[in-house]
Amino acid sequence: MPTEERPTKNPHLLAWVDEMARLCKPERIEWCDGSAEERKRLLEQAVAQKVLLPLDQKKWPGCYYHHSNPNDVARVEHLTFICTPTKAEAGPTNNWMDPAEAYRKLAALYEGAMKGRTMFVVPYVMGPTDSPFAKVGVEITDSIYVALNMGMMTRMGKAALARLGDTSREFNKGMHSVRDCDPDRRFICHFPQDNTIWSVGSGYGGNALLGKKCLALRIASYLARNEGWLAEHMLILEAESPEGDVSYVAAAFPSACGKTNFAMLIPPHSFEGWTIRTVGDDIAWLRVGDGGRLWAVNPEYGYFGVVPGTNFKTNPNAMRSIERDTIFTNVARTSDGDVWWEGKDNEPYPQMIDWKGQPWRKGTTDKAAHPNSRFTAPMQNNPALSRFADHPKGVPISAIIFGGRRSTTIPLVLQSFNWTHGVFLGATMGSETTAAAQGLKEGVRRDPMAMLPFIGYDAGTYLQHWLDMQTRIPNPPKIFMVNWFRKTPDGKFLWPGYGENMRVLKWIVDRAHGRIGAKETLVGWVPRTTDLNLGGLEVPVANVEQAMKIDYAEWENELASEEEWFQKLGPTLPRPLALQRELLLERVRSAARQGA
Ligand code: OXD
Ligand code: MN
């Protein structure tokens, strides 16, 4: 066994690292301490190994490029498993594997997988290090790319070992090997009861940076249910009004539906004096706190965002966040160290190297950057970072927003009648599929709370947990639904989105504080056109009205089609949600019959 400097005395951690080393047989073991010197050294090593290519350091200081294996560009939901003692605990929306079988199968793949390679031991904290809500994880990986990315996405190194201490068993055991990156030997397995993750065969962020989707969502959602809180796929933003009132909002959108853009929104000119700041762009851990309110912490420390479509118009704060110290994965590059992607401000260069490393010429129809190409950037780079982003207590949430990508039916914005109706809106949320996950059927899929791929246990039980949270929160946030993506019958977006979403956000914040009007419909509260500030909007009001329209015939279809989804959830579907659907459907049906 290789000897290495061991920066902890924690016997549980040491025993586990020894056990994994015996299995994987690395040539060397390197414990990451999270220091700047270490980062510099690892970057140099990654460049020497051609895992990273340095970009032009004048244009892109501290930035690097990474080509993934072309077979490894997104999360793989069909290869992601929840390994609970019974299949019922994983529920009908997850792939399940018996834990003993999963350990056996993956151990065989880990056997000797790190021969001749370095095994990095990466201790990290999800959440502000001094927060009572933070969780410690340790990832073992044979990927220097993963070690470097974990150093940006989490509070990594010494601070995590200090937080863990010398005796605690309370850390997530995350085992990861890219092995030979063979899609036939790729598995992402979660063992919620063991607080353990085993991932093999992929180096892609969502499959390999184990603090993010695997720990902060799948495992954390399981812990959250047991401990009485919520781990959610939500951005957290801070909205400050011209009068200096500050409100916090958490919003759940499926992957690649603009969460990062919303979290970094710049208000339009007619909203002078409003400022939006980012607390988090992907994950929120929500707990009941002071004042009986729901408080949110962002467990992450960096952004792993979708690059295509990002530019100085759509998201200037993201552009500034990636100007330095960023790792770009699978965008296009030039031979002199520049990067480009579809939807960047400038035209493509005539000749580039595409995401697969192949020559690319302007005019070809092939995409130069992969649609799910990504940036990894430290959150401190964000010029609009909230000063509470690192606060141990987090921020108190006034409104929760659910939103999908829907061409029809779902209006621009809708406020739920109450908590149960809000949970129903989240539970039945649908979205058209995007590039963030491979192998999904095109079309609308139900994605409860944008958590379908991330609920670490039975989905019906998860929805019951959401309902149960109401009685724990004396002052709960109000719940809303939005849809930025509604289209005309000929396929044009009705709403301009991006910064203009401020108009909707303001209504939401004002509603949460009970200071603006709305109209009651059969399916929820909506703004009247006069309740929205539309000053300076370059889109005809008729389009906005179309985007906001509630068409009861469309809703009848929607509510009727939700039955199939509820049936899929099976016996644990909470009865209040089934009744909610029936109640709404009956009301909408009679209204549609009257031609309303
Ligand atoms: C992500 C995702 O990377 O949701 O955030 O896939
Ligand atoms: Mn996400």
Instruction: Find out whether the beta carbon of 436 lies less than 6 Å from any atom of ligand 1.
Output: yes
- Rounded Cα distance, 505 and 520, in Å: 19
CA of 233 to the centre of ligand 2 (A): 6
Is a pLDDT exceeding 70 seen at residue 596?
yes
Instruction: Report which protein residue has its CA nearest ligand 1's atom 1.
Output: 255
- Dump pLDDT digits (tens) for 272-288: 999 999 999 999 999 99
Classify strands 28-31 and 118-126 as parallel, antiparallel or unpaired. parallel
Atom of ligand 1 at shortest range from CA of 254: 4
Determine what percent of the chain is predicted with pLDDT higher than 70.
99
Cβ–ligand 1 distance for 255 under 6 Å, the answer yes
List the single range of 213-222, 412-421, 438-447 with lowest mean pLDDT.
Answer: 438-447
pLDDT over 90 percentage in the chain: 95
> Looking at residues 245-262, what average pLDDT do you find?
94
Question: pLDDT band at residue 137, thresholds of 50, 70 and 90?
Answer: very high
Mean pLDDT over the full length of the chain = 96
CB distance 150 to 180 below 8 Å: no
| 386 Cβ contact partners less than 8 Å away, ≥ 6 residues apart | 237, 238, 277, 278, 279, 395
Q: What is the mean pLDDT of residues 143-162?
A: 98
The response to whether residue 254 sits with its C-beta less than 6 Å from ligand 1 reads no
Pocket test for ligand 1, best of 76, 234, 255 (most atoms within 8 A of CB): 255
pLDDT above 90: residue 492: yes
485 C-alpha vs ligand 1 centroid, how far in Å? 19
Question: Quick one: which atom of ligand 1 is closest to the CA of 233?
Answer: 4
pLDDT band at 439 (very low <50, low <70, confident <90, very high): confident
Closest CA to 558 of 451, 414, 457: 414
User: What's the CA gap between 191 and 282, in Å, rounded?
Assistant: 23
Q: For 285, what's the count of Cα atoms within 13 Å in the CB-facing half-sphere?
A: 32
**By three-state DSSP, how is residue 3 classified?**
coil
Does residue 304 have its Cβ closer than 6 Å to ligand 1? yes
What is the per-residue pLDDT across 11-25, written as a single tens digit (0 to 9) for each?
Answer: 999 999 999 999 999
How far is the C-alpha of 196 from the C-alpha of 215, rounded, in Å?
9
* Residue 169 vs residues 166, 190, 196, 198, 575: alpha-carbon distances, Å: 9, 18, 12, 18, 38
Give the closest residue (by CA) to ligand 1 atom 2.
Answer: 255
Summarised one tens digit per residue, pLDDT across range 515-565 is: 999 999 999 999 999 999 999 999 999 999 999 999 999 999 999 999 999
Amino acid letter, residue 439: G
C-beta of 376 in contact with ligand 1 (< 6 A)? no
Task: Please give the full DSSP string across 436-453, using - where no structure is assigned.
Answer: TBSSPPSSEEE-GGG-TT
Alpha carbon of 77 to ligand 1 centroid (Å): 12
Contact 125, 155 (CB under 8 A): yes
Compute the distance between CA of residue 432 and CA of residue 424 in angstroms, rounded to an integer. 19
CB atoms under 10 Å from CB of 408, counted, come to 14
Cα angle 551-527-595, degrees, rounded to a multiple of 5: 25
Q: How far apart are CA 338 and CA 67, in angstroms?
A: 14
Beta carbon of 374 within 6 Å of any ligand 1 atom: no
Question: Which ligand 1 atom is at minimum distance from the Cα of 437?
Answer: 6
What ligand 1 atom has the least distance to the C-alpha of 304? 3
The yes-or-no verdict on residue 433 having pLDDT over 90 is no
CA of residue 281 to ligand 2 center, whole Å: 8
> What is the CA angle 285-485-452, rounded to 5?
40
pLDDT tens digits along 95-135:
999 999 999 999 999 999 999 999 999 999 999 999 999 99
Q: Residue 437: pLDDT band by 50, 70, 90 thresholds?
A: confident
Distance 255 CA to ligand 1 centre (A): 5
Separation between Cα atoms, residue 553 and residue 592, nearest integer Å: 5
Positions annotated as catalytic residues are 257
Going from the Cα of 461 to the center of ligand 1, the distance in angstroms, rounded, reads 23
Q: 401 near 237, Cβ under 8 Å?
A: no
pLDDT digits 0-9 by tens, 335-362 = 999 999 999 999 999 999 999 999 999 9
Residue to mutate, 75, 217, 281, ligand 1, most ligand atoms under 8 Å from C-beta: 75
> Over 90: is that where the pLDDT of 435 sits?
no
Q: Could you tell me the pLDDT band of residue 2, with boundaries at 50, 70 and 90?
A: low
| Phi, psi angles (nearest 5°) of residue 503 | -65, -40
Tell whether ligand 1 has an atom less than 6 A from the beta carbon of residue 454: no
